[in-house]
Amino acid sequence: MGRFISLEGGEGVGKSTQIAALAEALRARGVDVLVTREPGGSEGAEAIRRLLLEGDAGRWGPRAEALLFAAARSDHLEKTILPALADGKWVLSDRFIDSSRAYQAGASGLADADILTLHRIGSAGRLPDRTLLLTLPEAVAAERAAARDRGGADRIGGRDAIYHARVAQAFAHHADEDPHRFRVVDASGIADHVTIRLLDALADLLP
Ligand SMILES: Nc1ncnc2c1ncn2[C@@H]1O[C@H](COP(=O)(O)OP(=O)(O)O)[C@@H](O)[C@H]1O
Ligand SMILES: Cc1cn([C@H]2C[C@H](O)[C@@H](COP(=O)(O)OP(=O)(O)O)O2)c(=O)[nH]c1=O
């Protein structure tokens, strides 16, 4: 059985950059790696991703949005993640359930217990073996995200600074509550240095 690792954090902290570097570093150690992302990662979930991220701000209310994320996650787990783990692969996912807890509960105001209930219904409550939470001072993350998106942020990324501060707070809170699964990793500085910190945070799982 492989390992299931999620990368979490707000917009612009470097998840996409780091997941690629981490995959390369793990492959160099002989690990068979599958990189995937949420929302998305399977045909059905990628279709739901477009529904979630395109269109105007009011396209979905918080509850419909939470249900769509849970549905996408269910399909992603069943079609992509579980088969890869059964093949002995390490699955690295750019976001997973903790993003729903941080955005739809922490920031949008739904109850964390309800998000966990949706996860139990959709995905049998499956959690990653390790969750790497990348953290950056808010201003640095906003600067990186703005430089990348050039003002063209998606439906959720484009929400205001107060919303994103609540997201960061919720992530930090969940990491505090479950130190066994979470590792908080400083995402500032040179990308290669961040990758080394991430590998350190997986050291106990490495073959
Ligand atoms: N360590 C780093 N230092 C400076 N810029 C970075 C670093 N890591 C990533 N970036 C840049 O910051 C932007 C956001 O990174 P990205 O990996 O897309 O973040 P995320 O997936 O978390 O939103 C990208 O333009 C990326 O090239
Ligand atoms: C997986 C997930 C993502 N999201 C949000 C976070 C992002 O704003 C967006 C995904 O966009 P994406 O462009 O993949 O993220 P990033 O900006 O980190 O590169 O969806 C949720 O609100 N809930 C979730 O459960």
DSSP one-letter code for 89 = P
Q: Look at strands 33-37 and 130-135 and give their pairing.
A: unpaired
pLDDT at 151 over 70: no
Which ligand has the nearest atom to the CA of 67? 2
pTM attached to this predicted model? 0.97
Residue 143: which H helix or E strand, with range?
helix 138-149
Find, among 18, 31, 48, 9, the residue nearest to 85 by Cα.
31
> What secondary structure does DSSP assign to 113-130, as a single string?
HHHHHHHHHHHTT---SE
ipTM for the complex shown: 0.97
Break the chain into its structural domains and give their ranges.
4-205
4-205: CATH, from 3.20.20.70, 3.40.1190.10, 3.40.50.2300, 3.40.50.300: 3.40.50.300
Q: Is residue 8 lining ligand 1, measured as CB closer than 6 Å? A: no
Query: Alpha helix (H) ranges present in 43-81?
Result: 43-53, 62-76
Cα–ligand 1 centroid distance for 121 (angstroms): 34
Mean per-residue pLDDT of the chain: 96
Q: Is residue 60 lining ligand 2, measured as CB closer than 6 Å? A: no
Q: Could you read off the pLDDT of 97-112 as tens digits, one per residue?
A: 999 999 999 999 999 9
Q: Could you read off the pLDDT of 82-91 as tens digits, one per residue?
A: 999 999 999 9
Cα–ligand 2 centroid distance for 200 (angstroms): 25
